[in-house]
Structure 1
Amino acid sequence: MSTDNPFGFDLSGGMPDPNDPKVRQMLAQFQQMMAASTSKSGPVNWDMARQLAENAVRAEDPGVDGVARTKATEALRLADLWLDPTTSLPSGVSATEAWSRLDWIANTIDTWKRLCDPVATKMVASMGELVPEDMKAMLGPMADIMKGLGSVMFGSQLGQALAGLATEVLTSTEIGIPLGAKGHAALIPANLAAYGTDHELPEDEVRLYMALREAAHHRLYEHVPWLRAYVLGTVEAYASGIHIDASAVEDAVSEIDPSRPETMQGLDLSEVLKPTDTPAQKAALARLETVLALIAGWVTHVVGEAAGDRLPSLPQLAELFQRRRAAGGPAEQTFATLVGLELRPKRLREAVTLWAKLTEARGVEGRDAVWEHPDLLPDAEALGDPDGWVSGGFDLGEIDMSFFEESLKEDSGSGSGPDGGADSGSDDAPGEGEQGDGPDAKK
Structure 2
Amino acid sequence: MTLFRAVRAVAESEGDGPVDWDAAAAAAKAAVEPGDLTLTDAEREGYARDVRDARDRVREVAAVDFDLPDTVEVQHRHHWIDANVATFRRVMEPLAEEAVGPVPGLARSVNTGTMGVTLGFLANNVLGQYDPLLLAEGDDHALYFVHPNIGKVAGLLDVPEPRFRRWIAFHEVAHAAEFGAAPWLSELLEERMREGVAGLTEGQFDRAALTEVNVAMTAVEGYAELVMDRAFDEEYDDLRRKLDERRGGKGPIGKLVRRLLGLGMKREQYERGKAFFDAVADERGVEGASAVWDSEANLPTDEELDDPAKWLARVPV
Q: Structure 1: which amino acid aligns with 2:234? A: L
The number of aligned residues is: 299
Q: Structure 2: which amino acid aligns with 1:102? A: H
Q: Give 2:58's aligned residue.
A: 83
Q: Give 1:69's aligned residue.
A: 44
1:366, CA displacement in angstroms? 4.0
Q: Summarize the Cα distance change of 1:289–1:33 in structure 2 as closer, same or farther, 3 Å threshold.
A: closer
SS of 2:144's partner is strand
* Ranges in structure 1 where 5+ consecutive residues have no aligned partner: 1-31, 131-145, 246-275, 396-443
CA contact (8 A) 1:297 1:355 kept: yes
Alignment counterpart, residue 161 of structure 2, candidates 193, 198, 203: 203
Q: Give 2:241's aligned residue.
A: 319
CA contact (8 A) 2:58 2:231 kept: yes
Alignment counterpart, residue 370 of structure 1, candidates 282, 292, 299: 292
Q: Structure 1: which amino acid aligns with 2:231? A: A
Deviation readout 1:230-277 (Å, 9 max, x if unpaired): 2344345445445999xxxxxxxxxxxxxxxxxxxxxxxxxxxxxx6x
Q: Give 1:99's aligned residue.
A: 75
Q: Distance in 1 between the 2:246 and 2:63 partners?
A: 28
1:207, CA displacement in angstroms? 0.3
Across the aligned residues of Structure 1 and Structure 2, the Cα RMSD in angstroms comes to 3.6
1:92, CA displacement in angstroms? 3.1
- 1:114-133 matches, within 5 Å, as 114-117=90-93, 125-127=99-101, 130=102
1:100, CA displacement in angstroms? 1.2
SS of 2:79's partner is helix
Aligned: 1:225 with 2:203: no
1:216, CA displacement in angstroms? 0.6
Q: Distance in 1 between the 2:54 and 2:243 partners?
A: 17
1:157, CA displacement in angstroms? 2.8
Q: Summarize the Cα distance change of 1:379–1:324 in structure 2 as closer, same or farther, 3 Å threshold.
A: farther
Aligned: 1:45 with 2:15: no
Q: Summarize the Cα distance change of 1:55–1:346 in structure 2 as closer, same or farther, 3 Å threshold.
A: closer
Q: Distance in 2 between the 1:234 and 1:341 partners?
A: 20
1:193, CA displacement in angstroms? 0.8
1:178, CA displacement in angstroms? 4.3
Q: Summarize the Cα distance change of 1:57–1:179 in structure 2 as closer, same or farther, 3 Å threshold.
A: farther
Task: Determine what percentage of the aligned residue pairs are the same residue.
Answer: 23
Deviation readout 1:288-343 (Å, 9 max, x if unpaired): 33222211221111222111xx433x123223444555669989957954xx7964
1:82, CA displacement in angstroms? 2.2
Alignment counterpart, residue 306 of structure 1, candidates 211, 214, 231: 231
Q: Distance in 2 between the 1:81 and 1:331 partners?
A: 37
Q: Distance in 1 between the 2:256 and 2:127 partners?
A: 14
After TM superposition, the score normalised by the length of structure 1 is 0.58
Aligned: 1:291 with 2:291: no
Q: Distance in 2 between the 1:379 and 1:389 partners?
A: 8
- 1:11-22 matches, within 5 Å, as none
Q: Summarize the Cα distance change of 1:226–1:64 in structure 2 as closer, same or farther, 3 Å threshold.
A: farther
Q: Distance in 2 between the 1:325 and 1:121 partners?
A: 37
Q: Give 1:109's aligned residue.
A: 85
Q: Distance in 1 between the 2:243 and 2:91 partners?
A: 24
Q: Give 1:379's aligned residue.
A: 301
Q: Structure 2: which amino acid aligns with 1:153? A: V
After TM superposition, the score normalised by the length of structure 2 is 0.78
Q: Summarize the Cα distance change of 1:335–1:357 in structure 2 as closer, same or farther, 3 Å threshold.
A: closer
Q: Summarize the Cα distance change of 1:233–1:393 in structure 2 as closer, same or farther, 3 Å threshold.
A: closer
Q: Which structure shows the higher helix fraction?
A: 2
Q: Distance in 1 between the 2:28 and 2:277 partners?
A: 39
Structure with greater Cα Rg? 1
Alignment counterpart, residue 152 of structure 2, candidates 178, 194, 197: 194
Q: Summarize the Cα distance change of 1:335–1:354 in structure 2 as closer, same or farther, 3 Å threshold.
A: closer
Q: Summarize the Cα distance change of 1:393–1:222 in structure 2 as closer, same or farther, 3 Å threshold.
A: closer
SS of 1:163's partner is helix
Aligned: 1:153 with 2:110: yes
Q: Summarize the Cα distance change of 1:90–1:331 in structure 2 as closer, same or farther, 3 Å threshold.
A: farther
Q: Distance in 1 between the 2:169 and 2:254 partners?
A: 19
1:204, CA displacement in angstroms? 1.5
* Ranges in structure 2 where 5+ consecutive residues have no aligned partner: 1-10
1:191, CA displacement in angstroms? 0.2
